[in-house]
């Protein structure tokens, strides 16, 4: 079977590109150039055409809400919000009522949620109208919370 000119050009273009690429020596850009490239990539990832949102570990603002307790808002919409709660060792949050359903997921450390000691990977759901006892930790923890 005979190849068309278009098929031959595609093969030749590929072969030429491979030959050129294989003759180049690997190099690293200068730190300021690498930083500009990274910033452009991160901006395009965060833009995500409106369908995706990324907040990387070193991004966002932690706000202190109690002694040893910080919160970082991840997402907020008309229907709810997601946030991280970072609690230092021997810190606590006071008892409170739930106006809406609340989901908690232990990301790191150990925490007492409603009288139960929870570890990384544990999940807790509190329904709207319910009452939460003090939340406290001896070791420190990070919780992912969604309302």
| Cβ(62)–Cβ(72) below 8 Å | yes
> CA angle at residue 53 from 74 to 122, to 5 degrees?
50
DSSP assignment of 60-108, as one string?
S-EEEEETTEEEEEEEEETTEEEEEEEE-TTEEE--EE-SS-EEEEEEE
| Cβ(122)–Cβ(105) below 8 Å | yes
Query: pLDDT tens per residue, the chain (147 residues)?
Result: 565 666 656 666 777 777 777 777 777 888 888 888 888 777 766 555 567 777 888 888 999 999 999 999 999 988 899 999 999 999 999 887 878 899 999 999 999 998 999 999 999 998 888 877 889 999 999 999 999
Q: Domains in the chain and their CATH numbers?
A: 5-50 (no CATH), 62-146 (2.60.120.10)
């Amino acid at each position: 079977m005979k190849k068309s000119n278009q098929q031959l050009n595609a093969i030749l273009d590929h072969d030429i590109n491979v030959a050129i690429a294989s003759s180049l020596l690997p190099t690293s850009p200068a730190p300021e150039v690498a930083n500009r490239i990274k910033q452009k990539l991160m901006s395009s990832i965060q833009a995500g055409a409106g369908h995706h949102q990324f907040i990387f570990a070193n991004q966002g603002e932690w706000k202190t809400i109690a002694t040893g307790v910080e919160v970082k808002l991840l997402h907020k919409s008309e229907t709810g919000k997601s946030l991280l709660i970072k609690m230092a060792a021997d810190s606590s949050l006071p008892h409170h009522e739930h106006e809406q359903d609340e989901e908690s997921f232990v990301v790191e450390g150990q925490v007492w949620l409603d009288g139960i000691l929870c570890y990384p990977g544990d999940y807790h759901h509190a329904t709207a109208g319910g009452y939460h006892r003090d939340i406290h930790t001896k070791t420190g923890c990070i919780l992912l919370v969604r309302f």
